Structure 1
Amino acid sequence: MEFKMKDVGFYTETANGRLNIAGNEEYGFRPYQLLVSSIAVCSGGVLRTILEKMRFTIEDIHIKADVERNEEIANRVERIHLHFTIKGKDLDENKLNKAMELTKKNCSMVQSVIGSIEVEETFEIVEG
């Protein structure tokens, strides 16, 4: 990837278009937002794949990410709590617990921050 400077922040061109990144939300995504998004969406994608392999019919997965930052240490991201609301038919809580364990093991973004950022993943089931 290449990043080019603009008046405020930087940008990169991707296959999906231009991605603007800046410390000020008015000019692009903030770096911590991209970090949290990467972790959340990677986990969601891995979870979806695992649930499909388990032959669950999933209608929707909604992810809420709560972030704790340490203002005293460069506003560092210290903890991310991902809460998945999973909508589908005949979902088994025990099998979903196993799927969540596999998700954490197989998400490259979560594995990349282990030891630096605490990532907690919880879920709730909504019958579809």
Structure 2
Amino acid sequence: MECTINWVPASGMAFVAETGSGHLLTMDGAPEGGGRNLAPRPMETLLAGAGACTAYDVVLILKRGRHEVSGCQLKVTSERAATDPKVFTKIHLHFIVSGRKLPVAAVERAIALSHEKYCSATIMLGRTADVTTGYEIVEL
């Protein structure tokens, strides 16, 4: 995997990343750090990427198990260290999985497999943060 990041000087502290797959991602800093609040902060994109990584796993595991999953929302909350480096110290992943007749055991297993084995992003962040999970199942 690779990525090229370019600073956009005219914007203050905004950066545009071009991913190895050819997609663009814009990030910006807070006004107090010279940014203009035009895009998500880099640490927000890190958290969003980790959330998408684990949600992807959960949906894929449920689909492969032939479960009728039709929705997956992930609410991520976090805390960061007070001093530099301000690493994540706590991350909570709350899954809201919807579908028809989704077995509790299947949802729990999908979340556990992602958390313990498949999601490289949350497993990596788990080296500095206490990563916890929770879930709700919505019957459709």
With the length of structure 2 as denominator, give the TM-score of the two structures.
0.82
Are 2:5 and 1:3 equivalent residues in the alignment? yes
Letter in 2 for 1:2: T
Summarize deviations over 1:25-47 as a string: whole Å, max 9, x none.
Answer: 61322011011111100000000
Of residues 106, 111, 117 in structure 2, which corresponds to 1:95? 106
2:90·2:131 contact (CA, 8 Å) conserved in 1?
yes
Partner of 2:120: 108
2:92·2:133 contact (CA, 8 Å) conserved in 1?
yes
1:60·1:88 contact (CA, 8 Å) conserved in 2?
yes
Distance 2:86 2:100 in 1: 41
Alignment of 1:44-123 (within 5 A): 44-104=55-115, 105-123=117-135
Letter in 2 for 1:127: E
Distance 1:120 1:29 in 2: 24
Distance 2:41 2:60 in 1: 28
Change (3 A) 1:75 1:112: closer
2:62·2:110 contact (CA, 8 Å) conserved in 1?
yes
Partner of 1:22: 28
Aligned length: 127
With the length of structure 1 as denominator, give the TM-score of the two structures.
0.89
1:19·1:28 contact (CA, 8 Å) conserved in 2?
no
Measured on the aligned residues, the alpha-carbon RMSD in Å equals: 1.6
- By relative contact order (CA 8 Å, sep 6+), the higher-ranking structure is 1
Letter in 2 for 1:23: G
User: Helix, strand or coil: the match of 1:98?
Assistant: helix
Partner of 1:33: 44
Unpaired runs of 5+ residues, structure 1, are none
Distance 1:113 1:76 in 2: 9
User: Helix, strand or coil: the match of 2:59?
Assistant: helix
Letter in 2 for 1:42: C
Report deviation, 1:67. 1.1
Unpaired runs of 5+ residues, structure 2, are 31-35
